[in-house]
Amino acid sequence: MPDSIMNDASLMRVLGREMTRAVQRSAIASGNLANAETPGYRTKEVQFAEALDGQLGGLSPMATHTRHLGAPNATGAGTVVDAEGKPARRDGNNVQLEHELLELSRSGSDFAAAQTVLAAKFRLVRYAINEGR
């Protein structure tokens, strides 16, 4: 029984981190789109690898126990960096509209998926509470 409580807490943490990441990716893509015509603007991107490495604390990504995956207060937020390897236009701007629109779509889908799982979890809890009546 205590293990199922840990799984519920882990699920909530994972969903919270996924929603945080989706919002951050969406905000960065929106900022890139807003600056698509700004001369010299360099495309930004979010890197989550360092945040993941910090949460794993050197453990293998194949960790098999829920307690292995990060601290309970880890936010999962990534680091914003300049995107590399993107060709620049004559004005020095390297924003690619199609890429940013795709990133907005992906981040919205990721957020919606996490929200759907979270809503299903709360429906199960509500059902369990009301079933006793």
pLDDT (tens digit per residue) in 3-47: 555 577 888 888 999 999 999 999 999 999 999 999 999 999 998
pLDDT on residue 44: 94
pLDDT on residue 58: 45
Q: Is the pLDDT assigned to residue 54 strictly greater than 90?
A: no
- pTM for the full predicted model: 0.70
Q: Is the pLDDT assigned to residue 131 strictly greater than 70?
A: yes
Q: Please report, for the chain, the start and end positions of each structural domain, with discontinuous segments joined by +.
A: 2-131
Q: What is the dihedral angle through the alpha carbons of 85, 94, 75, 23, rounded to the nearest 10 degrees? A: -130
Q: Is the pLDDT assigned to residue 59 strictly greater than 50?
A: no
The most confident of 2-16, 82-96, 118-132, by mean pLDDT: 82-96
Beta bridge partners of 44: 82
pLDDT on residue 56: 53
Question: DSSP states of 40-90 as a string?
Answer: T---EEEE-HHHHHHHHTT--TT--SGGGS--TT-----EEEE--SPPP-T
pLDDT on residue 72: 39
Helices (H) and strands (E) in the chain, counts: 3, 2
Task: Give the residue from 76, 96, 78 showing the smallest Cα distance to 88.
Answer: 96
Task: Give the residue from 31, 37, 42 showing the smallest Cα distance to 88.
Answer: 42
Tell me the average pLDDT of the chain: 80
- Whole-angstrom Cα distance, residue 8 to residue 125? 11
